């Protein structure tokens, strides 16, 4: 096993078209959809920063303005809140700006997640890095990214996050065929298949939106042809790395058993918002009471 430099940089692809959320995403990225009181992307940047990654690169598309504005100062509003002495709201507004150093690069054509990650090549350079997708939220009480960073440092390869799903749901995910490693809390990934049918799926282990990648993924992505959906798939590049020996080769998986909120489609998004709102300090108690009354009078 080789030892790798410690991960310092996070890449957050946010240039997808968000077609499953149209028309809400006609003029704004889906990563800006609010989850209770913050846009989804803020949870993700917060997660990266909490794992010690203070250099964040966001891959944006044509609607990038809302993203940049959200993490920038808003002097008129801040002054107004300060004049009113509304310190709680002022702190909430400033929190997004103070999270860390955020850089932006445009993807150009949204040719897939792999293509978006490749746009990070110059910024990342020759060091391992994390990729966090803005439509997957990991509960801040559950550890995942720091475990993945440790596994990357230990193995010198690339690391994916996996969850166990109902077999019938596997066709919505990348799927991993894995082998357990004696005495380790992570698994070796033998094969990855993007959105397989139930019959083709090698397991019920689904890849979710957290990755810690060896920089050799860039060279592989440059040579990865468009795959499923005519998009350059990160899964295809990882499949190449999974079967590669030597420097930067090997893909490992951390199976996550904690709380994850998928905000990538309408139904999951609504469930995520209700779940997190029910736990919210300010809103939770009233919302839970109302939900109980509301569901009790729904037709069976
Ligand atoms: P998705 O496939 O879930 O996002 O990509 P999408 O394409 O925006 O959504 P739909 O399927 O059309 O509704 C996962 C992540 O990768 C980013 C997306 O922004 C999302 O965070 N992505 C995807 C890019 O940055 N560029 C792409 O070309 C594709």
pLDDT value, residue 271? 95
4 or 36: which carries more pLDDT confidence? Answer: 36
Evaluate if residue 90 carries a pLDDT over 90: no
Report, as an integer, the average pLDDT of 229-237. Answer: 92
**Which residue range is the domain that position 113 belongs to?**
9-264
pLDDT value, residue 32? 94
Asked, for residue 276, whether it belongs to a domain, the answer is yes
Asked, for residue 179, whether it belongs to a domain, the answer is yes
Looking at the fold, whether 260 and 283 belong to one and the same domain comes out as: no
Confidence bin at 5 (pLDDT 50/70/90): low
Asked, for residue 4, whether it belongs to a domain, the answer is no
Looking at the fold, whether 252 and 118 belong to one and the same domain comes out as: yes
Evaluate if residue 300 carries a pLDDT over 80: no
Q: How many CB atoms lie within 10 A of CB 196?
A: 17
Query: Is 59 a pocket residue for ligand 1 (Cβ < 6 Å)?
Result: yes
Evaluate if residue 168 carries a pLDDT over 70: yes
Looking at the fold, whether 167 and 283 belong to one and the same domain comes out as: no
Torsion on CA atoms 277, 279, 285, 290, rounded to nearest 10: 40
Looking at the fold, whether 283 and 182 belong to one and the same domain comes out as: no
**In total, how many domains does the chain have?**
2
Query: Is 39 a pocket residue for ligand 1 (Cβ < 6 Å)?
Result: no
Looking at the fold, whether 163 and 291 belong to one and the same domain comes out as: no
CATH number of the domain encompassing residue 213:
3.90.550.10
High-pLDDT (> 90) share of the chain, %: 75
Report, as an integer, the average pLDDT of 148-152. Answer: 96
Write down the mean pLDDT value for the chain: 92
Report, as an integer, the average pLDDT of 246-257. Answer: 94
* pLDDT tens, residue by residue, 214-223: 999 999 999 9
Evaluate if residue 161 carries a pLDDT over 80: yes
pLDDT value, residue 101? 82
Q: Cis bond leading into 23, ω under 30°?
A: yes
* Ligand 1 binding pocket mutation candidate from 16, 40, 207 (most atoms within 8 A of CB): 16
pLDDT value, residue 116? 97
Looking at the fold, whether 65 and 197 belong to one and the same domain comes out as: yes
Query: Is 194 a pocket residue for ligand 1 (Cβ < 6 Å)?
Result: no
If you measure from the C-alpha of residue 108 to the centroid of ligand 1, how many angstroms do you get, rounded to a whole number? 13
* pLDDT tens, residue by residue, 43-69: 999 999 999 998 999 999 887 889 999
Looking at the fold, whether 64 and 167 belong to one and the same domain comes out as: yes
High-pLDDT (> 70) share of the chain, %: 98
Query: Is 248 a pocket residue for ligand 1 (Cβ < 6 Å)?
Result: no
If you measure from the C-alpha of residue 19 to the centroid of ligand 1, how many angstroms do you get, rounded to a whole number? 9
Looking at the fold, whether 150 and 269 belong to one and the same domain comes out as: no
* Ligand 1 binding pocket mutation candidate from 61, 113, 209, 233 (most atoms within 8 A of CB): 113
Evaluate if residue 3 carries a pLDDT over 60: no
2-6, 149-153, 161-165, 270-274, range with the lowest pLDDT: 2-6
């Amino acid at each position: 096993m080789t030892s790798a430099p410690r991960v310092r940089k996070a890449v957050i692809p946010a240039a997808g078209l968000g077609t499953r959320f149209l028309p809400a995403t006609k003029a704004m990225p889906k990563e800006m959809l609010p989850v209770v009181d913050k846009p989804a992307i803020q949870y993700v940047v917060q997660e990266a920063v909490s794992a010690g990654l203070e250099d964040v690169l966001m891959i944006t598309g044509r609607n990038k303005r809302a993203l940049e504005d959200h993490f920038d100062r808003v002097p008129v509003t801040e002054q107004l809140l300060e004049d009113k002495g509304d310190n709680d709201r002022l702190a909430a507004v400033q929190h997004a700006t103070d999270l860390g150093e955020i850089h932006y690069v445009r993807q150009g054509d949204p040719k897939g997640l792999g293509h978006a990650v490749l746009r990070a090549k110059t910024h990342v350079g020759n060091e391992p890095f994390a990729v966090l997708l803005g439509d997957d939220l990991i509960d801040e009480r559950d550890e995942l990214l720091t475990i993945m960073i440790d596994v990357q440092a230990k193995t010198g390869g690339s690391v994916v996050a996996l969850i166990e799903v109902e077999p019938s749901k596997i066709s919505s995910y990348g799927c991993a065929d894995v082998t357990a490693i004696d005495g380790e809390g992570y698994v070796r990934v033998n094969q990855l298949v993007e959105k397989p049918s139930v019959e083709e799926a090698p397991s019920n282990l689904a890849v979710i939106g957290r990755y810690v990648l060896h920089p050799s993924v860039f060279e592989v992505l440059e040579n990865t042809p468009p795959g499923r959906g005519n998009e350059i798939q990160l899964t295809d590049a990882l499949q190449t790395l999974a079967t590669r020996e030597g420097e930067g080769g090997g893909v490992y998986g951390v199976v996550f058993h904690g709380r994850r909120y998928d905000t990538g489609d309408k139904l999951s998004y609504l469930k995520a918002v209700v779940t997190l709102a029910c736990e919210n300090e300010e809103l939770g108690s009233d919302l839970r009471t109302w939900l109980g009354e509301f569901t009790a009078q729904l037709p069976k």
